[in-house]
A and B are shown apart, each in its own frame.
Chain A
Amino acid sequence: MPNLKAGQKYIENINMITFYFIAFLSIFFSILVISAKNPVHSILYLILTFFTFTIHYILLNAQFLAIVNFIVYMGAILVLFLYTLMLINLNKESEPVKPFMVKMAAVFGGGILAVALVASLKITGTSDPVVLKDPGLGLVKNLGKVLFNEFLLPFEVSSVLLLSAMVGAVLLATKDTKETKAIN
């Protein structure tokens, strides 16, 4: 934009700095998620990672997704993880450890994947800035219109999916003494 005011330019710079800082934090915390020895610490770092993702959504002005990410991921999914961990009652000595060579191979494989993805991005050469053309794009009003017009059938089908998942989870997690004896 050629006719940007000085104040707007300043806010733009602040937000750019915010993006890079938050991106650094996302990568830092996600590395901590996979490297923490204690699974409870992993879950807490995962919560922080999802916090940074919420901030990314707010920076993209996707307010609906920011709220949904906050409620569904940090409110529901991570509480579910913590409850499962509480039920399982892990001890430090029961934490399985892979041999060093396998770990090196895993890091090497992941690094190769990252290099391949970034290199293939380099070939495509799309480096246009992300410009928000329509300020109301990520608001509930706009998304609701799209969701209930174009995507009405998938929306209804996802309700069936959630119902079946709920029934399946209850069925799997309940203690069926007869069946477990039969399996063992």
Chain B
Amino acid sequence: MESLTNAIQAVPLNHYIILSALIFSIGVMGVLLRRNAIVIFMSVELMLNSVNLLLTAFSVYRGDAAGQVFVFFIMALAAAEVAVGLAIIVMIYRNTNSIDINVLNRLKW
């Protein structure tokens, strides 16, 4: 265990930030690219996870446990959000027989 705790010393904080930024951008790209509501939802999950990783890296960097507690709360929030969001998607599918988000343009004007 001791070897594992000493292990990560060499990776710079920058590389964690770059990794999280790239995965966050990929999530944004997914939201813009796809029209399938479920895939858009998965891209949002990807963004949430990249932020979680970044918070954990900062928490280890600063030696402060609060960051990891925040990640725990974000995970609880994500679980609630997924439950409600997927229920909404199921309801939309039942009403419109499609999960294409372009069907849902009645709120436009």
- Which residues of A are in contact with B by a Cβ distance under 8 Å? 1, 8, 11-16, 19-20, 23, 26-27, 30-31, 33-34, 39, 42-43, 46, 49-50, 53, 56-62, 64-65, 68-69, 72-73, 76-77, 80-81, 84-85, 87-88, 90, 94-98, 103, 105-107, 109-111, 113-114, 117-118, 121, 126-135, 137-138, 142-143, 146-147, 150-151, 154, 158, 161-162, 164-166, 168-170, 172-173, 175, 180, 183-184
CB distance from B21 to the nearest CB of A (A): 4
Listed residue (B45, B68, B90, B98) with the most chain A CB atoms within 10 angstroms of its CB = B68
Q: Are B12 and A128 within 8 A (Cβ)?
A: yes
A117 CB contacts on chain B under 8 angstroms: 21, 24-25
Give bound CA distance, A171 to B66, whole Å.
35
Given contacts A53-B49, A114-B21, A117-B25, contact A96 B102 (CB under 8 A): yes
- Number of B residues, CB within 8 Å of A: 80
Given contacts A60-B56, A127-B13, contact A158 B73 (CB under 8 A): yes
B12 CB contacts on chain A under 8 angstroms: 127-130
Give bound CA distance, A159 to B106, whole Å.
35
CB distance from B26 to the nearest CB of A (A): 5
CB distance from B58 to the nearest CB of A (A): 9
Q: List 22 A-B contacts (CB under 8 A).
A: A8-B6, A13-B10, A23-B15, A30-B27, A33-B26, A33-B46, A34-B26, A34-B43, A73-B75, A81-B42, A106-B33, A128-B61, A130-B12, A130-B61, A132-B5, A132-B63, A137-B65, A138-B65, A165-B84, A168-B84, A172-B91, A180-B94
